[in-house]
Structure 1
Amino acid sequence: MKAINLKAFGSAEVLQLGEAPNPEVRPTDLLVRVYAAGVNRADLTHRTGGYGHANFGDSLIIGLEIAGEVLETGSEVSGFAVGDRVMGVVGGGAYAELARIDYRMAMPIPAQLDYVHAAAIPEVFVTAHEAMLHLARLKSGDSVLIHAAAGGVGSAAVQLAYATGATVYATTEGSKLSRVEHLGADMAIDYKNEDFAAVIADKTNGRGVDVIIDFIGAPYFARNIASLAHGGRLVQVGILGGGGKVDVELEHILYRHLQIIGTVMKSRTQPEKHAMIQRFRDHWLKRFAGAASLEPVVDSTFPLSRAADAHRRMESSQNVGKIILTMQPEDLR
């Protein structure tokens, strides 16, 4: 099969289209003809050697998110059949014509969605639901601050927060403010020209917000803590702006009853990942239909042969929503 072979770590140029053996189907696997694959920040970390090894966990081929058609089912699979359209999260192997996926990590594609838009759902919407609804327990009437709101997970989180009935504050750069507000933010904050903590203090009359979803890390930490209401929850989903040590006054945590929660899908056990998929599927999958449906946000598409360009697009941070690789026959040349 055609696939992106990662023979060395490095810049985007290391992503070269070549031949790879077909994946072996295990008892709990679906074999999927991949028509679209989502590009994720984790793919950039993988490509540059940030995980320290070429094998992401389940495949030597890069990529974590697929949409396609079931070609074969393992002996222990239930709920799926050959010919089904599925989307889901894989443990590597998405940048290829064929991929295997544990059936408990797969979801049926809503009838009205094409493969490109389906591939924009699993990783980002599952992550957003887990962080904001499951861990932070966001509910109708709460307020939430979502950072990096024009990115894949951020744009999903804005939509889920809006659909939940929360008041949504969101940070992004100035050129993306209107797009983020279109997704459901009550107020979009230009993080380059405004201090989000000052804006939150002003708009909430000093109360702060109930939940913060952060992808940036250390540069935002102190202001995040200052922006939380009594009993507020900060969920750290990423560290795009840097990790390392942060300072916090423990008295603030104690007397304001704050919670700081970290979450990364990659380091979860398989049963935990299965539960994450099921929670999202039960709560939201039916909402990707109808006039008031959730919207998989697609920034751009690239043929698999141009995976390097897709990575450059993500590295530019100019995208709003997901970057998708496509695997039609003409895209595999």
Structure 2
Amino acid sequence: MKAVTFDEFGPADVLRISEVPDPVPRPNDLIVRVRAAGVNRADLTHRRGGYGRPDFGDSSIMGLEIAGEVTALGENVRDYKIGDRIMGIVGGGAYAEVARIDYRMAMPVPDGLDYIQAAAITEVFVTAHEALIHLGRLQPGEIVLIHAGAGGVGGAAVQLAHAIGARVITTARAPVHDLVLRLGADHAIDYINDDFAPVVAHLTDHRGVDLILDFIGAPYFERNVNALAFGGRLVQVGIMGGIENATISLERLLYRHLQIIGTVMKSRSQEVKHGMSRRFKERWLDKFGPNGLTPVIDSVFPLAEAGAAQQRMEDGLNVGKIVLTV
């Protein structure tokens, strides 16, 4: 089969198409003819050597989410059959014509969605559900601040928060404010020209927000903590802005009963990932469709142009998900 490979860590142009062996099914695996694969920031980290070795995870081939048809089943697989349309998160191997997926991480493609849409759902929506609802415990009527609301996970989080009845404030570049408002945000802050902290204070009458979902890291950390209401929660999902010089007042943390929670899916155990996928599937899978939840697609590239797809993400040009077609 054809797959995207690289011989050394480096920039996007190290990626190339090669012939590699087909994956071999294990007892709990589905073998899938990949029709589309989502591009994620973890793929860029993988390519640049951020995980320390090229075979971090389940495969030496990069890529964490797929959509396609089942072509073979492991002996322990239940609830799936050959020909089923499935989507899901893999431990690597998505940038290929054929991939394997633990059947407990797979889920049916919702009716009315194509493979490109399906490949843009699982990584971002499972992460958003885990951060907002399972860890962040967001409740109807609460106020949530979601940073990067036009990104993949951010856009998914805006939709989920709106769906459960929360009041949603998000940060995003001014040109995409119309998009995030359509996704369900009540207020959009232009993070380039406005400091989000005083805007949040004004919007909440200086009460603060109940929950913050952040991907930026150190540059936002102190302001995030100061923007939390009494008993508020900060869920840290990414560190795109860096990790240095993140400081807070421990007195504020203590006396306002704040909680700071970190989460990364890729390094979790397989059993934990099963639970994350199951929780998302049970609550949200039947909510996708033309009048319901929907992935935001930025752009679509053929598999052979995976380097260009990753470069677009690396340059910060994407609004929503970048998808590879196979």
Shared fold by TM > 0.5?
Answer: yes
Task: Specify the SS of the correspondent of 2:51.
Answer: coil
Aligned to 2:180: 180
Aligned to 1:300: 299
Distance (whole Å) between structure 2 residues aligned to residue 60 and residue 284 of structure 1? 31
Aligned to 1:331: none
Distance (whole Å) between structure 1 residues aligned to residue 189 and residue 317 of structure 2? 17
Task: Tell me the amino acid that sits aligned with residue 156 of structure 2.
Answer: A
Distance (whole Å) between structure 1 residues aligned to residue 147 and residue 141 of structure 2? 19
Contact 1:149 1:170 in 2 (8 A): yes
Distance (whole Å) between structure 2 residues aligned to residue 151 and residue 90 of structure 1? 21
Task: Tell me the amino acid that sits aligned with residue 122 of structure 1.
Answer: T
Displacement of 1:245 after TM fit? 4.4
Distance (whole Å) between structure 1 residues aligned to residue 112 and residue 212 of structure 2? 32
Unaligned runs of 5+ in 1: 328-333
Task: Specify the SS of the correspondent of 1:44.
Answer: helix
Aligned to 2:124: 124
Distance (whole Å) between structure 1 residues aligned to residue 298 and residue 109 of structure 2? 20
1:88-103 matched pairs, under 5 angstroms:
88-103=88-103
Spell out, residue by residue over 1:63-113, the C-alpha distance to the aligned partner (whole angstroms, 9 max, x if none).
000000000000000011110000000000000000000000101001210
Distance (whole Å) between structure 2 residues aligned to residue 89 and residue 56 of structure 1? 15
Count residues in correspondence.
326
Task: Tell me the amino acid that sits aligned with residue 256 of structure 2.
Answer: R
Spell out, residue by residue over 1:234-276, the C-alpha distance to the aligned partner (whole angstroms, 9 max, x if none).
0000000001342221111111010000000011111100000
Task: Specify the SS of the correspondent of 2:66.
Answer: strand
Task: Specify the SS of the correspondent of 1:229.
Answer: strand
Task: Tell me the amino acid that sits aligned with residue 311 of structure 1.
Answer: Q
Unaligned runs of 5+ in 2: none
Distance (whole Å) between structure 1 residues aligned to residue 6 and residue 34 of structure 2? 18
Contact 2:112 2:290 in 1 (8 A): no
Displacement of 1:290 after TM fit? 5.4
Aligned to 2:171: 171
Distance (whole Å) between structure 2 residues aligned to residue 25 and residue 286 of structure 1? 29
Distance (whole Å) between structure 2 residues aligned to residue 45 and residue 131 of structure 1? 21
Distance (whole Å) between structure 2 residues aligned to residue 129 and residue 43 of structure 1? 21
Task: Specify the SS of the correspondent of 2:54.
Answer: coil
Aligned to 2:315: 316
Task: Tell me the amino acid that sits aligned with residue 14 of structure 1.
Answer: V
Distance (whole Å) between structure 1 residues aligned to residue 74 and residue 26 of structure 2? 6
Contact 1:3 1:97 in 2 (8 A): yes
Task: Specify the SS of the correspondent of 1:37.
Answer: strand
1:253-332 matched pairs, under 5 angstroms:
253-289=253-289, 291=291, 293-327=292-326
Distance (whole Å) between structure 1 residues aligned to residue 147 and residue 125 of structure 2? 15
Task: Specify the SS of the correspondent of 1:127.
Answer: helix
Task: Tell me the amino acid that sits aligned with residue 194 of structure 2.
Answer: E
Task: Specify the SS of the correspondent of 1:134.
Answer: helix
1:19-38 matched pairs, under 5 angstroms:
19-38=19-38
Aligned to 1:106: 106
Distance (whole Å) between structure 2 residues aligned to residue 7 and residue 90 of structure 1? 22
Task: Tell me the amino acid that sits aligned with residue 186 of structure 1.
Answer: D
Q: State the TM-score, normalized to the length of structure 1.
A: 0.97
Displacement of 1:6 after TM fit? 1.8
Displacement of 1:48 after TM fit? 0.6
Q: What is the aligned-residue RMSD (CA, Å)?
A: 0.8
Contact 2:29 2:77 in 1 (8 A): yes
Task: Tell me the amino acid that sits aligned with residue 170 of structure 2.
Answer: A
Displacement of 1:219 after TM fit? 0.2
Distance (whole Å) between structure 1 residues aligned to residue 174 and residue 215 of structure 2? 18
Contact 1:6 1:62 in 2 (8 A): no
Displacement of 1:289 after TM fit? 2.8
Displacement of 1:154 after TM fit? 0.4
Spell out, residue by residue over 1:265-292, the C-alpha distance to the aligned partner (whole angstroms, 9 max, x if none).
011111100000000000100100352x
Distance (whole Å) between structure 2 residues aligned to residue 253 and residue 212 of structure 1? 14
Aligned to 1:239: 239
**Are 1:56 and 2:49 counterparts?**
no
